[in-house]
């Protein structure tokens, strides 16, 4: 199997990263990775980081086999910036674009486990993005087997879905509950993965993209996976509902 050189861009969360990887999740090599936590926007440093990384590794655009980007869910602004940058780089360099759901990246950061894995991200508004996985199995694209849909819900309702010991990768559930004034129940069946795995990494994204390409899944969806509607969409829906609501003296046919 060929070892693809992947330029990976991850901006779904507050701490963004870029990486150069060769090979898959089992035998791959990380050539370089840079992370940054922007005060305002990923767009201010993203392309500069990519250029610096390529120069430092003596890699040219012709050397790269594909561009990978985190598809979401995550920060709406971060996803749009990352996707726009990745699309632009892929188009300009003539390389294929590979997108990987962010929760899949988190699950892929863990080894094969006997327990179910719960990957989650902070969705704000006292909610989380979440999905359950069996990391001991692979789907038809070589990724960890997802056991259900991507969802957005409260931490409390997510805990109700856990009926057996489960490994959780992502931000601390205790911290997420505390932010909404709640306390993690003592009988919860969750064990947290190490904090270093709490955010998705561009390096793992690159290895996942290699697995997708090697399984013939290179033409992936290039639209962000938001899971829930944006604030602008919610406001527009509310305005349309209010406009269509019958007022005093108004009769609908």
Span 40-66, mean pLDDT? 88
Show the tokens assigned to 239: 């305005």
Q: Which segments of the chain does DSSP mark as H helices, in order?
A: 46-56, 76-93, 102-108, 155-160, 173-179, 202-214, 231-244
162 neighbors 118 (Cβ within 8 angstroms): yes
Segment 107-134, tens digit of pLDDT: 999 999 999 999 999 998 889 999 999 9
Q: For residue 188, what pLDDT is reported?
A: 85
Confidence of residue 181 (pLDDT cuts 50, 70, 90): confident
Peptide bond before residue 73 is cis, with ω within 30 degrees of 0: yes
Q: For residue 251, what pLDDT is reported?
A: 44
Instruction: Determine which of 111-125, 132-146, 185-199 has the lowest per-residue pLDDT on average.
Output: 185-199
Global pTM reads 0.88
Q: For residue 226, what pLDDT is reported?
A: 94
Buried b (16+ CB within 10 A) or exposed e, 104-120: bbbbbbbeebeebbbbb
Express as a percent the part of the chain with pLDDT over 90: 69
Q: For residue 243, what pLDDT is reported?
A: 52
Res 232 pLDDT > 50: no
Segment 244-253, tens digit of pLDDT: 555 555 444 3
Res 237 pLDDT > 70: no
Span 63-82, mean pLDDT? 94
Per domain, the residue ranges of the chain are 5-230
Mean pLDDT of the chain: 87
Q: For residue 241, what pLDDT is reported?
A: 46
Confidence of residue 205 (pLDDT cuts 50, 70, 90): very high
Res 41 pLDDT > 80: no
DSSP code of 164?
S
Span 73-100, mean pLDDT? 93
Q: Which of 191, 189, 206 is nearest to 59 (CA)?
A: 206
Given the candidates 3.30.420.40, 3.20.20.70, 3.40.1010.10, 3.30.460.10, the CATH classification of the domain at 5-230 is 3.30.420.40
Instruction: Give the C-alpha separation, 166 to 173, whole Å.
Output: 12
146 neighbors 208 (Cβ within 8 angstroms): no
Instruction: Give the C-alpha separation, 34 to 98, whole Å.
Output: 20
73 neighbors 169 (Cβ within 8 angstroms): no
Cβ atoms within 10 A of the Cβ of 130, count?
A: 25
Instruction: Give the C-alpha separation, 189 to 192, whole Å.
Output: 10
């Amino acid at each position: 199997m060929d070892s693809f050189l992947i330029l990976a861009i991850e901006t779904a969360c507050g701490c963004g990263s870029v990486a150069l990887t060769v090979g898959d999740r089992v035998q791959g090599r990380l050539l370089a990775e840079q992370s940054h936590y922007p005060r305002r926007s990923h767009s201010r440093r993203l392309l500069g980081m990519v250029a610096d990384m390529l120069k430092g590794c003596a890699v040219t655009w012709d050397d790269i086999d594909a561009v990978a980007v985190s598809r979401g869910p995550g920060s709406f602004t971060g996803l749009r910036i990352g996707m726009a940058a990745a699309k632009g780089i892929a188009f300009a360099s003539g390389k294929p674009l590979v997108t990987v759901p962010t929760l899949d990246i988190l699950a892929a950061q863990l080894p094969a486990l006997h327990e179910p894995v719960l990957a989650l991200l902070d969705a704000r508004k006292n909610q989380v993005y979440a999905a359950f996985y069996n990391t001991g199995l692979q789907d038809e694209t070589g990724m960890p087997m997802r056991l259900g849909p991507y969802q957005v819900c409260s931490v409390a309702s997510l805990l109700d879905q856990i009926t057996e010991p489960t490994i959780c990768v992502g931000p601390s559930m205790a911290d997420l509950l505390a932010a909404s004034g709640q306390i993690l129940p003592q009988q919860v069946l969750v064990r947290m993965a190490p904090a270093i795995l709490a955010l998705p990494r561009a390096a793992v994204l690159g290895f996942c993209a290699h697995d997708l390409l090697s399984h013939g899944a290179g033409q992936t969806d290039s639209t962000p996976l938001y899971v829930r509607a944006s604030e602008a969409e919610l406001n527009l829906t509310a305005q349309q509902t209010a406009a269509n609501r019958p007022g005093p003296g108004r009769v609908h046919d």
